[in-house]
Amino acid sequence: NARVTQDIIYNSGEGRDQNLLVEYFMSKNVITISETDLIKTAAQLMVDKKIGALPVTTTSASTLIVGIISYIDILKAVISLL
């Protein structure tokens, strides 16, 4: 919930470190998808894992994040087929 997140950030309390680092809150076991996978695969993975977006990686030897696909992107793909 966005409101809860704002409250945590704004009400972190006096005397506490106001410089909260992303590394303390980020997901570390990130689920990714390859840029050559199908939209259907991405959609099924999001449903199965209950996540709203996936980092998209290259298929080359040095795996790099090249983008992100969200449930909105998948809805756009479905709408384009209607």
* pLDDT one digit per residue (tens) for the chain, 82 residues: 556 555 665 665 555 666 788 888 888 889 999 999 999 999 999 999 999 999 999 987 778 999 999 999 999 999 999 9
Per-residue confidence (pLDDT) for residue 19, from 0 to 100: 76
Question: Token pair for residue 38?
Answer: 């199908």
Residue 52, token pair as written in the block: 């709203």
Residue 11: what pLDDT? 60
Give the span between the Cα atoms of 82 and 79, in whole angstroms.
5
pLDDT at position 3 is 61
| Mean pLDDT of the chain, nearest integer | 85
Residue 50: both structure tokens together: 């209950």
Q: Which residues, in sequence order, are CB contacts of 61 under 8 Å at separation 6+?
A: none
